[in-house]
Chain A
Amino acid sequence: MSVLRAEDLGFGYPGFPVGRAVNLVLRAGEILCLLGPNGCGKTTLFKTLLGLIPRQAGRVLLDDCDILSLQRRHVARQMAYVPQAHTTVFPYAVGDMVLMGRTAHRDTFSRPRREDRERAAAALSQMGIGDLSGRDYTRISGGQRQLVLIARALAQDARLIVMDEPTASLDFGNQILVLNEVRKLAAAGLGVVLSTHNPDHAFAYATRVHLLGDGVTQAAGRPVDVLTPEILSRVYGAPIAVERLPSGYHVCVPVDLASAS
């Protein structure tokens, strides 16, 4: 059972603190949704949680071990990272990109084996992009690249997945595809922490929400407790209303629109 725990975490860059005093826990089977305005440090927090950049204060524990004391190969088997969609310098085939997710499961000097290729192909199919395998990663759309990076994290077979805005450049259908996959992963016992700019996603999919603003935790807990009109309006600096649909789902709407109808 993998557990990721941040204790009193301070993050940022040398001489440039971004956030402080963040406490959070990600357990298997959970979807933790990180919300917060632009520039509040979501990506920096994720990189610090993964041990990719040095932390400024506090601790990050993976299964009660300090993440900086663990071998990266061990960490990569426990925890996968989906960065924001980017492009690469060299035109790797999509299949090779996904195959790179298997590296932590092989020795330093080995190449991927047939079962790794099969796992990578399965991950691509799971994201509905099996036909892209032979295409160049640099020559597909931003949304497709995002799906490839998620497929790579799936191929990594980790127990926890950190996703940085996995739905940012996806069309509406693919947003649903990705979030449904996330839900299936959580149901299968994986822990997923993801950041998003859409509080509706947090309502619909998250087991817990962590709201970040001005570099500190503004609120954390169940979506219905955290995502109140008062807190959302304060953190995002815009009047926001939360409405409950007949189906039971919650949606956030700007107040002027809500009052106009």
Chain B
Amino acid sequence: MNPPGSPERQRARTAAGPIIGALAAGLLLLALFAITVGPYPVSVDQVLAALLDYAGGGAGLTDAQVETVLFSVRIPRVLAALLVGAALAAAGTVYQGLFRNPLVSPDILGVSTGAGLGAALGILLSMPVVVTQGFAFTGGLGTVALVYAVATAVRGHDPMLVLVLAGVVLGALAGACISLVKILADPYDQLPAITFWLLGSLAGTQPDDVWSALPFVVVGLVPLVLLRWRMNLMTLGDEEATALGIDPRRLRVLLVAAATLMTASVVAVAGVVGWVGLVMPHIARLVVGPNFDRLLPVAMILGAGYLLAVDTIARTMAETETPLGILTAFVGAPVFLWLLATGRRSW
């Protein structure tokens, strides 16, 4: 028996509300801090005054330069980091639950590789940024749709196993296509662009990027929120979920589609950002347990905060921007190992 004060009991008894509130407050402070730092330092007072002005309630005294820095560069970038981190963490949480495997990341069905191929093609064809983003979005969704179609066509095997294998195979194929595009690309101009895109970055974030990704993320999030209780049953496996009165096959298509939509839309803006979707669900489970009801909001807040922190480091650490994919791994790997070594709970 556990003594009454043990962490396990505390977790089960504490309501999730205060935890979520505290994390959200922390995230807000982090965002405020992130807005102030950078090559052109802005004080917290200036930020608050500018935000008041923006809302129409201030004195209108904000310096034009400060306004440009905040509203054209920094705030869009901070919002983009929050959106990308939250979306990837949510998608990772869903994928891990659906595949009943804590080692799964949102890339398992090939969404990132497919998006990478789309973006690489866009860069190779010298398309405008918006079109390249569209290519990436379409490539991500298209790859997962193809994987699902292949897995549905193959019958007589464990459906989840076929799905994962189809994802691995088609992901590898898309990876080979990316390599082909890289060989064909102009080595001085296009190749670095492709490489940087594949490592992920928010350096080129435009204010419009947030608005182009946000609707898709919200559309993907709606089914996750509405089905957050049933998502728990999906982790028990198809037979048990069916016996408890739900239709796992239909639910799975919907949930995969929603998580993939979220991933593809943010990857199109930020490039391939690894680690967030793999690690954040774990940390969220350590904090509030696996009940999707509370796991989803906590994972999203943690994902948003993690990516914001990493992106802030990426743009302030050195003269040149460090790609996110490198930093998320450098920060994520030690944290993850430390958690594995010290965590009491298995997953």
Q: Give chain A's interface residues, CB within 8 Å of chain B.
A: 14, 47, 50-53, 72-73, 75-77, 80-81, 83, 88-93, 95-96, 100-101, 103-104, 106, 108-112, 133-136, 138-139, 156
Contact = CB atoms under 8 A, between A and B. Distances in A.
15 contacts: A47-B239, A53-B239, A76-B244, A83-B243, A90-B285, A90-B290, A90-B347, A100-B232, A100-B233, A101-B244, A104-B245, A109-B227, A112-B229, A135-B9, A136-B345
Contact of A73 (B97, B240, B245): B245
Interface residues of B, number: 36
B293 interface: yes
B67 interface: no
Contacts of B227: 108-109
A48 to B, nearest CB: 11
Nearest to A92: B290
Nearest to A79: B243
A76 B243 contact: yes
B12 A134 contact: yes
A53 B233 CA distance: 18
B179 interface: no
A91 B243 contact: no
A135 B345 CA distance: 12
Contacts of A50: 242-243
B207 interface: no
Interface in B212-270: 226-230, 232-233, 235-236, 238-240, 242-247
B316 interface: no
B2 A135 contact: yes
Contacts of A109: 226-227
A93 B236 contact: no
Contact of A92 (B9, B246, B289): B289
B161 to A, nearest CB: 15
Interface string B311-347: 0000000000000000000000000000000000111
Query: Which residue among A51, A100, A104, A135 has the maximum number of chain B CB atoms within 10 Å of its CB?
Result: A100
Contacts of A95: 12
Contacts of A53: 239
A80 B243 CA distance: 7
A136 B238 CA distance: 22
Contact of B245 (A77, A91, A135, A138): A77
A116 to B, nearest CB: 10
Contacts of A100: 232-233, 236, 244
B175 interface: no
A95 B12 CA distance: 9
B297 to A, nearest CB: 13
A93 B245 contact: no
A108 B156 contact: no
A206 B251 CA distance: 38
